[in-house]
Structure 1
Amino acid sequence: MTDVHSKATRSKNMRAIGTRDTAIEKRLSGLLTQAGFEFRVQDAALAGRPDFVLDRYQCIIFTHGCFWHHHDCYLFKVPATRTEFWLAKIGKNVERDKRDSAILLAQGWRVLIVWECALRGRLKLDDAALTERLEEWICGGGQTAQIDTSGIHLLTVFPPHTA
């Protein structure tokens, strides 16, 4: 199946996708600020350029788009066009996420992934529930965890992936 957009239109659309200050990052930033956490953003000196770094708690928080990082939820849909290309591209993102998380863990950081579906969409968590999960993990512990529409999940293997 061919793309419904011309190559120029598709290229323009792809260039418009931001890598910082996304809507999900802005929402999470607001919740962290409101809860009184101090953090740095987009630290290029750390593997994966984490979205949020909480030095006091030795925590890293990534906000992952469900499509780009292949989350098994209602927001992830396999593209109908150029399927092989997209699955390979997304697969590389997943492998890079695993590598970056392993590096951060080896450096003594704790790593949390907050999935896009927890932050936006019809099943998103409300502010109170999301803030409670964040505080629970940041202050409570656990080396690795993820937050999705069903809440927080402490992980023993990181990051989980079902392809």
Structure 2
Amino acid sequence: MYDFVSPETRSRMMSGIKGKDTKPEIILRQGLHKLGFRYKLHDRNLPGMPDMVFPRYKAVIFANGCFWHGHSCHMFKWPSSNEQLWHNKINRNMEMDRENLSRLQEMNWRVGIVWECSLTGKYRINSEEVIELCAQWLEATDMTSIEIGGQC
């Protein structure tokens, strides 16, 4: 498939994609903070550098982008150009996600994953509901993990 922008423009566009402080992450952070939850951001000492770390609850939350992490939802579609590069990249991201999840669980951390589609997609859930689900999970110490995606 032909790319309609120059390589320089494409490079500039791709470099503008954020890995931190994304819209879903900000929504979660503000909502949970408003409910009284305190957290650290992007702790480099933990596998996968979780978006939010809640030491009091021995829990972490990742706000995953559906495209970059290969989520099986309407927001993810394999690119039709440079297919091998994208398959390698996204499959490697998914493999690293599994490894980080396993390592965190071995360290007795509880892991929450909130998918981008749950907060911004066509089938999104009300953001207050997503935040409330996260809050309930944080306080329910018997639940080791949670995964929240959009309604399909």
Asked if the contact 1:47–1:103 (Cα under 8 Å) also holds between the matched residues in 2, the reply is yes
* Residue identity opposite 2:54 in structure 1: L
Q: In 2, Cα distance between the equivalents of 1:16 and 1:128? A: 28
* Residue identity opposite 2:146 in structure 1: A
Aligned residue runs from structure 1 range 12-161, under 5 A = 12-140=12-140, 141-150=142-151
Q: In 1, Cα distance between the equivalents of 2:85 and 2:35? A: 41
Q: Please, which moves more after superposition, 140-149 or 45-54?
A: 140-149
Q: Find the residue that maps to 2:63 and give its secondary structure.
A: strand
Q: Find the residue that maps to 1:63 and give its secondary structure.
A: strand
Residue by residue over 1:19-67, the C-alpha shift from the partner in whole angstroms, topping out at 9 and shown as x without a partner, is: 1111111111011111111111111111111000001110010010000
Identity %: 36
Asked if the contact 2:121–2:150 (Cα under 8 Å) also holds between the matched residues in 1, the reply is no
* Residue identity opposite 1:55 in structure 2: P
Q: In 2, Cα distance between the equivalents of 1:24 and 1:127? A: 9
Q: Find the residue that maps to 1:104 and give its secondary structure.
A: helix
1:150 offset after TM fit, Å?
3.5
Q: Please, which moves more after superposition, 132-141 or 48-57?
A: 132-141
Q: Find the residue that maps to 1:135 and give its secondary structure.
A: helix
Unaligned runs of 5+ in 1: 152-163
**Count of residues in correspondence between the two structures:** 151
Q: In 1, Cα distance between the equivalents of 2:63 and 2:132? A: 17
Asked if the contact 2:110–2:144 (Cα under 8 Å) also holds between the matched residues in 1, the reply is yes
1:137 offset after TM fit, Å?
1.2
Q: Find the residue that maps to 1:19 and give its secondary structure.
A: coil
Unaligned runs of 5+ in 2: none
Q: In 1, Cα distance between the equivalents of 2:123 and 2:62? A: 19
Q: In 2, Cα distance between the equivalents of 1:8 and 1:90? A: 23
* Residue identity opposite 1:102 in structure 2: S
Give the RMSD, CA atoms, in angstroms. Answer: 1.4
Q: In 2, Cα distance between the equivalents of 1:4 and 1:14? A: 14
Q: Find the residue that maps to 1:111 and give its secondary structure.
A: strand
Q: In 1, Cα distance between the equivalents of 2:16 and 2:69? A: 18
